[in-house]
């Protein structure tokens, strides 16, 4: 496996959240209890690397890879997993995160004490690589029977079967996460899965999307070329009945038809953005745990409209407060210096470390719900733009694992989707959103012998 591809399926990263709360932690139990909440699922047959930074040993990067990704490449399988490259890649990211120390956690149901076992080889490979740059790297084991320090030989401290997992479930960090309403999926697949809408709703959405796309294509084909030439679909010569009825035909009529189509295409974009805004108003008012109920017809139209770049960009603009007018002008194709400046300002809020700001949680949470509803209603071949926006929202919020999954989904539908390729490059390179880069000193959990107050998600 190419290490740069790991983030698409196996790397979970979540940076400090914009609205951090405070928890007290003490000892490795709290750190081990926190990892599943950080990833959003229970790791299995995996190795997790954790970076610890600063005098308070704050948790930074939390990255998971499958055990299989840390297998050494075999001579008879030149295209198979390259564990050495994966270990080097992970180590580079941990060090780049500013780590002073690292902790490696092995999750396996197999016997990790067997020197020739795949699990032991995997954790030793990564730990050895980390030790070269971060001496004192700890290794822990979490197994179905319990947890313990991997190399601890004291049965009083670390029984062979490990200390009971109930100690993790009952830790103060776990209790805090439960009170915060955090949940942990049983598997990575469960965390990222989006359940399809009922068949009748999907049928309604599919038909609405097809009609909305037909309207779009008809209007687009009747507009002028960007250089001001004639319409893409030239009208056929008039029939004699039309000539007798005085139907105009000629250069001026063609020009008038193109201008009318442009106005109608702008109206189509504005109506599409209006459907998005209406869905967002509903989603913002939905309380946690309540279902989001939206019209399948509207969801189908939104899914179809997102394939139009101006509408997609207008939706992206709408994720930042105070961009209502710029978003509308973008959707209507009324691009000028002002809309360009507004678009640049919003992108700077997301990616620029000097101007980057945390996302508005209410807006991005609602956007995620609406986009997920679109994905679960429209046919797969229409999902790439919604997947891409889901990935961008997740990345902006600091949820690298979800961002990687959704950008992989987008490229699975459209392998050449340029914006998705750019975002995948940022995720694979470990580049966080602008506000995180500006606030790198702010971490989430402290791992130390004494309790401390620290910022946590």
User: Angle at CA 111, nearest 5°, toward 34 and 35?
Assistant: 10
Q: How far is CA 428 from the centre of its chain?
A: 12
For 249, the 3-state DSSP assignment is: coil
Outline where 398-448 has alpha helix (H). Answer: 400-413, 418-428, 434-438
The per-residue pLDDT for 246 is 47
Tens of pLDDT, residue by residue over 307-335, are 999 999 999 999 988 888 989 999 999 87
Q: Residue 146: count other Cβ atoms within 10 Å of its Cβ.
A: 18
155 pLDDT tier (thresholds 50, 70, 90): confident
Cα–Cα distance measured from residue 2 to residue 235, given in angstroms and rounded to the nearest whole number = 52
The pLDDT of 13-38, averaged and rounded, is 65
The per-residue pLDDT for 387 is 97
Say yes or no to pLDDT of 380 above 80.
yes
The pLDDT of 377-391, averaged and rounded, is 96
Q: By mean pLDDT, which of 157-171, 280-294, 381-395, 424-438 is the weakest?
A: 424-438
Cα–Cα distance measured from residue 43 to residue 222, given in angstroms and rounded to the nearest whole number = 54
Parallel, antiparallel, or unpaired for β 452-456 and 21-25?
A: antiparallel
- The answer to whether the CB of 73 falls within 8 A of the CB of 81 is yes
DSSP-derived secondary structure for 206-254: HHHHHHHHHHHHHHHHHSBPTTS--BSSPPPPPPHHHHHTT---SHHHH
The pLDDT of 337-349, averaged and rounded, is 78
Domain layout of the chain by residue ranges: 3-193+440-456, 200-382
pTM over 0.75: no
- The answer to whether the CB of 8 falls within 8 A of the CB of 410 is no
223 pLDDT tier (thresholds 50, 70, 90): confident
């Amino acid at each position: 496996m190419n290490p740069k591809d790991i983030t698409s399926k196996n790397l979970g990263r979540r940076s400090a959240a914009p609205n951090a709360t405070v928890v007290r932690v003490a000892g490795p139990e709290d750190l081990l209890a926190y990892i599943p909440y950080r990833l959003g699922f229970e790791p299995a047959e995996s190795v997790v690397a954790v970076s610890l930074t600063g005098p308070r040993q704050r948790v930074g990067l939390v990255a998971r890879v499958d055990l299989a990704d840390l297998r050494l490449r075999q001579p008879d399988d030149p295209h198979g997993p390259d564990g050495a490259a994966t270990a080097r890649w992970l180590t580079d990211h941990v060090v780049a995160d500013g780590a002073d120390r690292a902790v490696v956690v092995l999750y396996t149901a197999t016997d990790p004490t067997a020197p020739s076992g795949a699990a032991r080889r995997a954790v030793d490979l990564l730990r050895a690589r980390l030790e070269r740059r971060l001496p004192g790297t700890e290794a822990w084991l979490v197994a179905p029977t319990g947890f313990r320090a991997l190399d601890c030989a004291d049965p009083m401290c670390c029984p062979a079967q490990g200390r009971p997992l109930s100690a993790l479930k009952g830790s103060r960090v776990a209790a805090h996460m439960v009170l915060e309403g955090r949940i942990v999926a049983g598997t990575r697949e469960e965390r990222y899965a989006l359940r399809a809408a009922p068949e009748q709703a999907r049928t309604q959405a599919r038909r609405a999307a097809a009609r909305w796309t037909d309207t779009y294509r008809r209007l687009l084909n009747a507009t002028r070329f960007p250089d001001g030439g004639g319409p893409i679909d030239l009208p056929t010569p008039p029939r004699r009945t039309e000539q007798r009825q005085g139907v105009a035909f000629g250069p001026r009529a063609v020009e008038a038809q193109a201008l009318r189509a442009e106005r109608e295409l702008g109206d189509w974009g504005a109506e599409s953005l209006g459907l998005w805004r209406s869905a967002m108003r509903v989603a913002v008012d939905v309380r946690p745990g309540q279902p989001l109920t939206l019209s399948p017809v509207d969801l189908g139209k939104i899914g179809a409209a997102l394939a139009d770049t101006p509408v997609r960009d207008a939706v992206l603009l709408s994720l930042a407060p105070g961009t209502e007018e710029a978003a509308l002008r973008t959707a209507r194709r009324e691009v000028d210096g002002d809309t360009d400046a507004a678009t640049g300002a919003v992108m700077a809020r997301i990616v620029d470390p000097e101007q980057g700001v945390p996302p508005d949680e209410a807006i991005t949470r609602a956007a995620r719900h609406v986009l997920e509803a679109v994905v679960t209603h429209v046919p797969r071949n229409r999902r790439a733009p919604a997947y891409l926006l889901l990935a961008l929202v997740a990345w902006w919020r600091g949820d690298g694992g979800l961002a990687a999954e959704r950008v992989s989904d987008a490229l699975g539908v459209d392998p050449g989707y340029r914006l998705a390729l750019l975002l995948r490059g940022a995720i694979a390179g470990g580049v966080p959103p602008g506000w995180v880069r500006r606030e790198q000193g702010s971490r989430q959990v402290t791992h130390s012998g004494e309790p401390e107050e620290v910022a946590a998600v």
